[in-house]
């Protein structure tokens, strides 16, 4: 009997948490949708930007900027969040770029750093080939090959066959919707609502 009561207790906590997160995730989808209405040229250049709330020039950006901008529209500054965490835990983040300390201009724009941050402060979700596992507001990361990583947001709009949610991303054609969930090898799947 106690096991049944305990199971219901944990289930109620899980459901209440999921329901509480739903409005935020839908707001994130709406923010991503608004980004698809902007003309953006793919530009991976290094820029010196403001801190906090810094952004690369209007009309420029890469895949990570889609995620950063969408979160900023719902009140989360990933530039600041990642920089603050890297100041305290620099060695936990990928050491791929020859840096000896955090750089608030670029760290948050690197997909491996976003993956580490979401692993530390979000929910790491299953990687599968079941489209039902990928829900609106989730973050997905891919390996494009040759050491190139990519990131996008699962939208609340379905593919033409209604089997998958479309992804909002920028892989070279601007901030767009695309039916590309399983086009590349998925290496990360996260839910990040808000870090307090």
**pLDDT value at residue 145:** 97
169 is a domain residue: yes
pTM exceeds 0.85 = yes
177 is a domain residue: yes
6 is a domain residue: yes
Helix ranges restricted to H, 74-184: 78-89, 111-121
User: Cα angle at 193 between 44 and 99, to 5 degrees?
Assistant: 40
Split into its structural domains, the chain has a count of 1
Dihedral angle, C-alpha 167, 27, 86, 196, nearest 10 °: -150
What is the number of residues in the chain?
196
Compute φ and ψ for 142, nearest 5 degrees.
-130, 160
pLDDT digits (tens, 9 = 90+) for 95-140: 999 999 999 999 999 999 999 999 999 999 999 999 999 999 999 9
Q: Are 151 and 63 in contact (CB under 8 A)?
A: yes
Nearest to 117 by CA among 88, 145, 137, 143: 88
pLDDT digits (tens, 9 = 90+) for 136-190: 999 999 999 999 999 999 999 999 999 999 999 999 999 999 999 999 999 999 9
Helix ranges restricted to H, 36-92: 63-73, 78-89
Domain hosting 170: range is 2-191
145 is a domain residue: yes
152: alpha, beta or left, given left = phi > 0 and alpha = psi -120 to 50? beta
196 is a domain residue: no
CATH number for the domain harbouring residue 53: 3.90.1720.10
21 is a domain residue: yes
**pLDDT of 11 above 80:** no
Q: Are 136 and 29 in contact (CB under 8 A)?
A: yes
Residue environment code for 102-138, b if the CB has 16+ CB neighbours within 10 A, otherwise e:
bbbbbbbbbbbbbbbbbeebbeebeeeeeeeebbbbb
- Sign of the CA dihedral with 90 first, then 95, 100, and 106 last: negative
């Amino acid at each position: 009997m106690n096991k049944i009561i305990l199971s219901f207790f944990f289930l109620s906590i899980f459901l209440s948490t999921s329901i509480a997160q739903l409005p935020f995730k839908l707001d994130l989808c709406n923010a991503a949708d608004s980004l698809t209405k902007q003309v953006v040229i793919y530009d991976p250049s290094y820029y010196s930007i403001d801190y906090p709330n810094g952004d690369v020039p209007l009309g420029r950006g890469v895949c990570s900027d889609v995620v950063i901008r969408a979160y900023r529209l719902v009140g989360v500054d990933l530039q600041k969040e990642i920089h603050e965490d890297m100041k305290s835990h620099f060695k936990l983040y990928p050491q791929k770029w020859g840096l000896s300390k955090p750089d608030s201009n670029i760290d948050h724009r690197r997909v491996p750093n976003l993956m580490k941050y979401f692993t530390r402060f979000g929910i790491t979700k299953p990687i599968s080939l079941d489209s039902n596992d990928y829900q609106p507001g989730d973050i997905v990361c891919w390996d494009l090959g040759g050491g190139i990583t990519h990131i996008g947001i699962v939208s609340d709009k379905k593919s033409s066959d209604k089997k998958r949610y479309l992804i909002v991303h920028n892989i070279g054609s601007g901030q767009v919707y695309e039916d590309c969930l399983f086009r590349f090898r998925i290496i990360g799947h996260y839910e990040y609502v808000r870090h307090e």
